[in-house]
Protein backbone atom coordinates (compact mmCIF):
# COMPACT_ATOMS: atom_id res chain seq x y z
CA UNK A 1 0.00 0.00 0.00
CA UNK A 2 1.09 3.62 -0.63
CA UNK A 3 2.22 5.91 2.19
CA UNK A 4 -0.27 6.64 4.92
CA UNK A 5 -0.70 10.28 5.93
CA UNK A 6 -2.15 11.30 9.26
CA UNK A 7 -3.90 14.60 9.91
CA UNK A 8 -5.57 16.16 12.94
CA UNK A 9 -8.37 18.71 13.24
CA UNK A 10 -10.08 20.28 16.21
CA UNK A 11 -13.37 22.08 16.60
CA UNK A 12 -16.67 21.59 14.77
CA UNK A 13 -16.42 19.35 11.71
CA UNK A 14 -17.50 21.04 8.49
CA UNK A 15 -20.03 19.52 6.10
CA UNK A 16 -17.51 18.48 3.43
CA UNK A 17 -15.38 16.65 5.99
CA UNK A 18 -18.46 15.01 7.51
CA UNK A 19 -19.38 13.68 4.09
CA UNK A 20 -15.85 12.33 3.53
CA UNK A 21 -16.10 10.57 6.88
CA UNK A 22 -19.57 9.32 5.98
CA UNK A 23 -18.20 7.58 2.89
CA UNK A 24 -15.73 5.74 5.13
CA UNK A 25 -18.17 5.04 7.95
CA UNK A 26 -20.64 3.37 5.56
CA UNK A 27 -18.40 0.42 4.62
CA UNK A 28 -16.72 0.37 8.04
CA UNK A 29 -19.97 -0.14 9.91
CA UNK A 30 -21.89 -2.22 7.36
CA UNK A 31 -23.18 -5.43 8.92
CA UNK A 32 -23.31 -8.69 6.94
CA UNK A 33 -26.75 -9.17 5.37
CA UNK A 34 -27.70 -5.52 5.79
CA UNK A 35 -27.47 -2.72 3.22
CA UNK A 36 -24.48 -0.44 3.67
CA UNK A 37 -25.43 2.71 5.59
CA UNK A 38 -25.67 5.72 3.24
CA UNK A 39 -22.78 8.19 3.44
CA UNK A 40 -25.09 11.19 3.86
CA UNK A 41 -26.94 9.49 6.69
CA UNK A 42 -23.69 8.58 8.47
CA UNK A 43 -22.41 12.13 7.95
CA UNK A 44 -25.56 13.59 9.49
CA UNK A 45 -25.37 11.25 12.49
CA UNK A 46 -21.73 12.14 13.03
CA UNK A 47 -22.42 15.86 12.88
CA UNK A 48 -25.34 15.61 15.31
CA UNK A 49 -23.35 13.52 17.76
CA UNK A 50 -20.18 15.58 17.74
CA UNK A 51 -20.71 19.18 16.67
CA UNK A 52 -21.89 21.40 19.50
CA UNK A 53 -19.42 19.94 21.97
CA UNK A 54 -16.86 22.24 23.52
CA UNK A 55 -13.92 20.06 22.55
CA UNK A 56 -13.85 18.05 19.35
CA UNK A 57 -10.86 16.19 17.96
CA UNK A 58 -10.68 14.34 14.68
CA UNK A 59 -7.75 12.46 13.24
CA UNK A 60 -7.70 10.85 9.83
CA UNK A 61 -5.49 8.47 7.90
CA UNK A 62 -5.38 9.03 4.14
CA UNK A 63 -3.81 7.12 1.29
CA UNK A 64 -3.48 8.89 -2.06
CA UNK A 65 -5.77 11.64 -0.77
CA UNK A 66 -8.57 9.28 0.24
CA UNK A 67 -9.59 8.78 3.85
CA UNK A 68 -9.08 5.14 4.89
CA UNK A 69 -9.48 5.58 8.63
CA UNK A 70 -10.59 8.07 11.23
CA UNK A 71 -11.10 8.55 14.95
CA UNK A 72 -13.28 11.21 16.47
CA UNK A 73 -13.87 12.27 20.05
CA UNK A 74 -15.85 14.89 21.89
CA UNK A 75 -16.27 16.40 25.33
CA UNK A 76 -17.93 19.09 27.37
CA UNK A 77 -15.96 18.04 30.45
CA UNK A 78 -12.45 19.52 30.83
CA UNK A 79 -11.21 16.41 32.69
CA UNK A 80 -12.51 13.55 30.57
CA UNK A 81 -12.43 13.22 26.80
CA UNK A 82 -14.79 10.75 25.15
CA UNK A 83 -13.32 8.75 22.29
CA UNK A 84 -16.52 8.38 20.37
CA UNK A 85 -16.18 6.64 17.03
CA UNK A 86 -13.58 5.38 14.66
CA UNK A 87 -12.85 2.85 12.02
CA UNK A 88 -10.57 1.73 9.24
CA UNK A 89 -11.71 0.57 5.79
CA UNK A 90 -11.51 -3.23 5.48
CA UNK A 91 -8.72 -3.21 2.86
CA UNK A 92 -6.54 -0.98 5.06
CA UNK A 93 -6.82 -2.95 8.31
CA UNK A 94 -4.07 -4.74 10.24
CA UNK A 95 -1.44 -2.15 9.36
CA UNK A 96 -1.48 -0.31 12.66
CA UNK A 97 -3.71 2.55 11.46
CA UNK A 98 -6.21 2.36 14.35
CA UNK A 99 -3.34 2.17 16.82
CA UNK A 100 -1.65 5.24 15.33
CA UNK A 101 -4.94 7.19 15.36
CA UNK A 102 -5.33 6.27 19.04
CA UNK A 103 -1.80 7.52 19.76
CA UNK A 104 -2.59 10.84 18.06
CA UNK A 105 -5.79 11.23 20.08
CA UNK A 106 -3.90 10.40 23.27
CA UNK A 107 -1.22 13.02 22.56
CA UNK A 108 -3.83 15.67 21.74
CA UNK A 109 -5.68 14.93 25.00
CA UNK A 110 -2.44 15.24 26.95
CA UNK A 111 -1.62 18.58 25.31
CA UNK A 112 -5.13 19.87 26.01
CA UNK A 113 -4.86 18.92 29.71
CA UNK A 114 -7.44 16.12 29.80
CA UNK A 115 -6.85 13.66 32.63
CA UNK A 116 -8.87 10.72 31.34
CA UNK A 117 -10.09 9.26 28.09
CA UNK A 118 -13.27 7.23 28.16
CA UNK A 119 -14.70 5.00 25.50
CA UNK A 120 -17.26 2.24 25.01
CA UNK A 121 -17.00 -0.89 22.92
CA UNK A 122 -19.42 -3.68 22.08
CA UNK A 123 -18.51 -6.72 24.21
CA UNK A 124 -17.80 -8.82 21.10
CA UNK A 125 -15.67 -6.29 19.23
CA UNK A 126 -12.43 -8.19 19.81
CA UNK A 127 -10.34 -5.92 17.61
CA UNK A 128 -11.37 -2.70 19.34
CA UNK A 129 -11.18 -4.21 22.82
CA UNK A 130 -7.67 -5.48 22.07
CA UNK A 131 -6.51 -2.12 20.73
CA UNK A 132 -7.92 -0.32 23.76
CA UNK A 133 -6.42 -2.73 26.28
CA UNK A 134 -3.04 -2.59 24.51
CA UNK A 135 -3.28 1.22 24.63
CA UNK A 136 -3.62 1.14 28.41
CA UNK A 137 -7.39 1.39 28.89
CA UNK A 138 -8.93 -0.39 31.89
CA UNK A 139 -12.42 -1.81 32.02
CA UNK A 140 -14.54 0.52 34.14
CA UNK A 141 -17.89 -1.20 33.78
CA UNK A 142 -20.48 -2.76 31.54
CA UNK A 143 -24.11 -2.05 30.76
CA UNK A 144 -26.88 -3.37 28.56
CA UNK A 145 -27.41 -0.90 25.74
CA UNK A 146 -31.11 -0.64 24.88
CA UNK A 147 -31.65 -3.59 27.18
CA UNK A 148 -29.95 -6.25 25.09
CA UNK A 149 -26.49 -5.31 23.81
CA UNK A 150 -23.63 -5.60 26.30
CA UNK A 151 -21.29 -2.63 26.16
CA UNK A 152 -17.91 -2.40 27.86
CA UNK A 153 -16.91 0.99 29.29
CA UNK A 154 -13.16 1.64 29.29
CA UNK A 155 -11.13 4.43 30.85
CA UNK A 156 -7.53 5.47 30.65
CA UNK A 157 -5.54 8.01 32.63
CA UNK A 158 -3.82 10.27 30.15
CA UNK A 159 -0.09 9.67 30.46
CA UNK A 160 1.62 12.43 32.39
CA UNK A 161 -1.51 13.58 34.21
CA UNK A 162 -2.38 12.76 37.79
Ligand X SMILES: CC(C)(COP(=O)(O)OP(=O)(O)OC[C@H]1O[C@@H](n2cnc3c(N)ncnc32)[C@H](O)[C@@H]1OP(=O)(O)O)[C@@H](O)C(=O)NCCC(=O)NCCS
Nearest approach in angstroms of CB 125 to ligand X is 5
Is residue 125 within 8 Å of residue 98, measured between CB atoms?
no
Strands 66-75 and 55-63: antiparallel
Query: Which residues in the 27-46 window bind ligand X by CB under 6 A?
Result: 28
CA 51 to chain centre: 14
**By CB under 6 A, residue 99 contacts ligand X:** yes
Q: Which of 85, 104, 117, 152 binds ligand X (CB under 6 A)?
A: 85
**By CB under 6 A, residue 127 contacts ligand X:** yes
H helix and E strand count, the chain? 4, 7
Helix (H) or strand (E) holding 155: strand 149-157
Nearest approach in angstroms of CB 162 to ligand X is 28
Supply the DSSP symbol for 91.
G
Q: Which of 7, 30, 130, 142 binds ligand X (CB under 6 A)?
A: 130
Question: At 55, is the secondary structure helix, strand, or coil?
Answer: strand
Of 2-10, 34-42, 47-55, 86-94, the segment contacting ligand X by CB under 6 A is 86-94
**By CB under 6 A, residue 95 contacts ligand X:** yes
Positions that interact with ligand X (CB under 6 A) = 28, 85-88, 93-99, 125-128, 130-131
Amino acid sequence: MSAIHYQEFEGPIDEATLLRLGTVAGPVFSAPGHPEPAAAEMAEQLGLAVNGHRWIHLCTATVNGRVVGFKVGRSNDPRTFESWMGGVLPHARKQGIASQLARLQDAWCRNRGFQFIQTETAHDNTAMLTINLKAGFCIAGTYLDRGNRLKVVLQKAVHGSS
